[in-house]
A and B are shown apart, each in its own frame.
Chain A
Amino acid sequence: MNIASFAPLAVVLPILGAALTFVLIRHSRAQRTVSIALLSLTLALECLLLASVWEGGTAAVNIGGWLPPWGIVMVVDQFSSLMLVVSSAVSLAVLVYATGQGMADGDQDAPVSIFHPTYLILVAGVSNAFLSGDLFNLYVGFEILLTASYVLMTLGGTGPRIRAGVTYVVVSVVSSVLFLISIAMVYGATGTVNMADLALKLADLDPGTKTLLHVMLLVAFGIKAAVFPLSFWLPDSYPTAPAPVTAVFAGLLTKVGVYAMVRTETLLFPGDSLNTPLMVAALLTMLVGILGALAQNDIKRLLSFTLVSHIGYMVFGLAMSSVAGLGAAVFYVAHHITIQTSLFLVTGLIERRGGSSSVDRLAGLAKLSPLLALLFFIPAMNLAGIPPFSGFLGKVGLMQAGIELGTPLAYGLVIGGVLTSLLTLLAVARVWNRAFWRKPSDAEHPDPVLLAPRETSDTGRRGGRNNVTLLPRTMVGSTLGLVLLGVSLTVFAGPLFKVSDQAARDMLDRSSYIQAVLGEETAVPLILTSGGGK
């Protein structure tokens, strides 16, 4: 019995955890233990999955014994298992952070008892989307994670969260409806929703129909992935949610959209029919996103804009449809999930320590809390792509692939990528200068807590907020763990690049995926690409 046949447990375990934590809703300590234990178990299982896929190649699991293309199938290949491992590691860190926050604050700010089941369902939805080998099951995975995210987004039901939540829910529902319409059209055109089967049958369609289906799917996923011009909703809705929720949304939800786009481009509609529009969208996403970030004072909003902007890098890598480009994009997704989440977690800590997340009110944090400064500095430099961090390596990979491709548009994207990287550095350096380096008396509206004399240590209770632990150990510890994970992506960039290149090669080749689902003897037609598909 292969370990890969346990892949559905990556979905089942979090759902089981959600059920258990619901039963234990009155016992917060038991709830915490159960959710952390089950998520750790899921992470361990996914590490085993990654190892087994690395050894034995792509594997498919037929749910309920129904043979494909009729039954639901879950596929574990290198890309999906890598995404599973990274996403679960990040969600575990955020869960520890959130429990730390809940323990420190009690139930005043947010009903933490609801948080655990919802959070686990979100993780289950993300895993389901990554594992799904079936277009409709992918839709169900999206809906599971979106419904959980609606609840998390409006946790506590305060005015700003409800306001942002309405926009978020409506935009998400519209994108889901678009996705469902595309599924209906795909089914009407081919008579199947199994992705491996579709990969074979879509090739026979009339080019016009094919382009229509392709565009419909990309638009639906583009809203979820926040690709310009479909990214308008993200900076509006993410920053109002509680810090751990924003962190996990920023890390995972848009990446699920990117994952679905990658599958669409490589498996369902191979070739380069829509690469030019995708590249233009990638360029605009990068530039418009980062210019938006420069205008922000609130760190959470600034980070939301950088999140949008850096989605552009992934789309750029995807749009090149070469092994080098796609491999770099896979690497970049793994890097960005970790880095963006840790930055949002640090921002949560900054908000606790400094009393605000607006750079107008923050000052002098480097002196107040050197550890916090270090925790912000490392991922911020990593995001901006300063050598030797993984952000730099991922960007260099993308640039190399772009220059290898050698079209004028690719050169334009390389230049745009470098520019975006510099502007990201400017944006985070502004935050650094204002929040960490200047004197509290220089701030426009300094928070009283910053001006108060230093009486106690970071973990103590003080000043205007004497009932709040400013920096609880659990929260700092989990953030530190995630920052270290980000640094380890730099240290182990060689093996990671090997995995992502192999994943890209498998995805572009398609045969391992299709044969794992439909049987070894299935003939996979070669794909004709005009450039870069070596």
Chain B
Amino acid sequence: MSVNLTLLAVMGALYACGIYLILERSLTRVLLGLMLLANATNLLILATGGYAGLAPFYAKDTPAQDYNDPLPQALILTSIVISFAVTAFMLGIIYRTWVLAKQDEIQDDLEDLRVAETPSFDAEDDAEIPMETSEFPLTMLGSDGRSVSDHGTASDHTPAGGGEETAGGTVQAGDTKIAAEDAAAEEQPGSQNVTPGPEGGVK
């Protein structure tokens, strides 16, 4: 009796293909990859049972060392049932993705992208304190005379109409007069945390 080398080689191939497939963006391939991984793992569990042997408790006079270990097979049975359920559920999800988005690909997380693109400058938190600190400020100018919302965001700005949402989606207070008008409000309209569009924040 010896360890079954074919099974081990098959297991390795299944793992390799499975890992390759779950790295794809196509959901159907990911599902196939997960199925391969589950089956490779089943083979691994089978291999832990040791050498092939006789069915336990089949005949009374079988010596104990000739039995096959039945426990790994029970474990495999459980794991097959579980992976079956998960596969069925995944198929349902993939179908739903197809119905909703007409594509079989993983979609990006928009909120995540928004956070990634947000500049580190936050008009509300990071602006320099205006020179005028009285209760009724006339202006929200920075110490260098520029509008506070211009600091640090020059890279993704082109000067445009004041206080409007441009087509590119960034909101900005263009020239210094606008900032002065809005100074009564404690908020600058040019906060860079604003998601563009009428809906505002992503739900």
Given A136-B75, A162-B100; A184-B93 close (CB under 8 Å): no
Please give the number of chain A residues whose Cβ is less than 8 angstroms from any Cβ of chain B in the complex. 49
Considering only residues 168-209 of chain A, those with a C-beta below 8 Å from chain B are 169-170, 173-174, 176-177, 180-181, 183-185, 187-188, 193
User: B101 at interface (Cβ–Cβ under 8 A)?
Assistant: yes
Q: Which residue of B lies closest to A357 (CB)?
A: B203
Question: Which chain B residues lie closer than 8 Å to A438 at the CB level?
Answer: 186-187
Cα–Cα distance between A357 and B27 once the two chains are bound (Å)? 30
User: B193 at interface (Cβ–Cβ under 8 A)?
Assistant: yes
Question: Which chain A residues lie closer than 8 Å to B199 at the CB level?
Answer: 445
Are B201 and A445 within 8 A (Cβ)?
A: yes
Name the contact of B186 in the complex, choosing from A177, A185, A442 (C-beta under 8 A). A442
* A-contact 0/1 string along B88-115, CB 8 Å cutoff: 0110010011001100001101011001
Are B115 and A296 within 8 A (Cβ)?
A: yes
Cα–Cα distance between A183 and B72 once the two chains are bound (Å)? 10
Are A361 and B185 within 8 A (Cβ)?
A: no
User: A371 at interface (Cβ–Cβ under 8 A)?
Assistant: no
Cα–Cα distance between A438 and B107 once the two chains are bound (Å)? 36
Are B85 and A147 within 8 A (Cβ)?
A: yes
Interface centre among A183, A188, A297, A361 (most CB of B within 10 A): A297
Are B82 and A143 within 8 A (Cβ)?
A: yes
User: B45 at interface (Cβ–Cβ under 8 A)?
Assistant: yes
Are B118 and A167 within 8 A (Cβ)?
A: no
Cα–Cα distance between A140 and B79 once the two chains are bound (Å)? 9
Given A150-B89, A177-B38, A298-B111; A187-B201 close (CB under 8 Å): no
Are A298 and B202 within 8 A (Cβ)?
A: yes
Cα–Cα distance between A298 and B199 once the two chains are bound (Å)? 14
User: B48 at interface (Cβ–Cβ under 8 A)?
Assistant: yes
Given A150-B89, A151-B89, A183-B75; A358-B200 close (CB under 8 Å): yes
Are A180 and B201 within 8 A (Cβ)?
A: no
Q: Which residue of B lies closest to A355 (CB)?
A: B203
Q: How far is the CB of B125 from chain A (nearest CB, A)?
A: 8
User: A107 at interface (Cβ–Cβ under 8 A)?
Assistant: no
User: B176 at interface (Cβ–Cβ under 8 A)?
Assistant: no
Considering only residues 292-306 of chain A, those with a C-beta below 8 Å from chain B are 295-298, 301
Cα–Cα distance between A298 and B78 once the two chains are bound (Å)? 40
User: B194 at interface (Cβ–Cβ under 8 A)?
Assistant: yes
Are A295 and B185 within 8 A (Cβ)?
A: no
Are A356 and B200 within 8 A (Cβ)?
A: yes
Name the contact of A444 in the complex, choosing from B41, B186, B194 (C-beta under 8 A). B194
Are A170 and B22 within 8 A (Cβ)?
A: yes
Given A164-B109, A187-B48, A444-B193; A298-B22 close (CB under 8 Å): no
Cα–Cα distance between A380 and B89 once the two chains are bound (Å)? 36
Q: How far is the CB of B69 from chain A (nearest CB, A)?
A: 8
Q: Which residue of A lies closest to B48 (CB)?
A: A188
Question: Which chain B residues lie closer than 8 Å to A301 at the CB level?
Answer: 111
User: A163 at interface (Cβ–Cβ under 8 A)?
Assistant: yes
User: B71 at interface (Cβ–Cβ under 8 A)?
Assistant: yes
Q: How far is the CB of B33 from chain A (nearest CB, A)?
A: 9
Are B47 and A188 within 8 A (Cβ)?
A: yes
Are B203 and A177 within 8 A (Cβ)?
A: no
Name the contact of A162 in the complex, choosing from B79, B82, B97 (C-beta under 8 A). B97
Q: How far is the CB of A456 from chain B (nearest CB, A)?
A: 25
Question: Which chain B residues lie closer than 8 Å to A157 at the CB level?
Answer: 96, 100
Q: How far is the CB of A144 from chain B (nearest CB, A)?
A: 9
User: A457 at interface (Cβ–Cβ under 8 A)?
Assistant: no
Name the contact of A181 in the complex, choosing from B34, B41, B200 (C-beta under 8 A). B41
* A-contact 0/1 string along B158-192, CB 8 Å cutoff: 00000000000000000000000000011101010
User: B148 at interface (Cβ–Cβ under 8 A)?
Assistant: no
Cα–Cα distance between A162 and B93 once the two chains are bound (Å)? 7
Question: Which chain B residues lie closer than 8 Å to A127 at the CB level?
Answer: none
User: Could you list 15 further interchain pairs (A-B, Cβ under 8 angstroms) beyond the known A136-B78, A157-B100, A445-B199?
Assistant: A140-B82, A143-B82, A154-B93, A157-B96, A163-B107, A166-B93, A183-B45, A184-B47, A184-B48, A185-B48, A187-B72, A297-B201, A298-B202, A360-B200, A361-B201
Top 9 closest pairs, chain A to chain B, by CB: A358-B201, A445-B200, A188-B48, A184-B45, A360-B201, A184-B44, A163-B107, A143-B82, A442-B187
Interface pairs (7), CB distance under 8 Å: A151-B89, A154-B96, A170-B22, A184-B41, A187-B71, A298-B202, A358-B203
Chain B residues proximal to chain A, CB less than 8 Å: 22, 27, 30, 34, 37-38, 41, 44-45, 47-48, 71-72, 75, 78-79, 82, 85-86, 89-90, 93, 96-97, 100-101, 106-107, 109, 111-112, 115, 118, 185-187, 189, 191, 193-195, 199-203
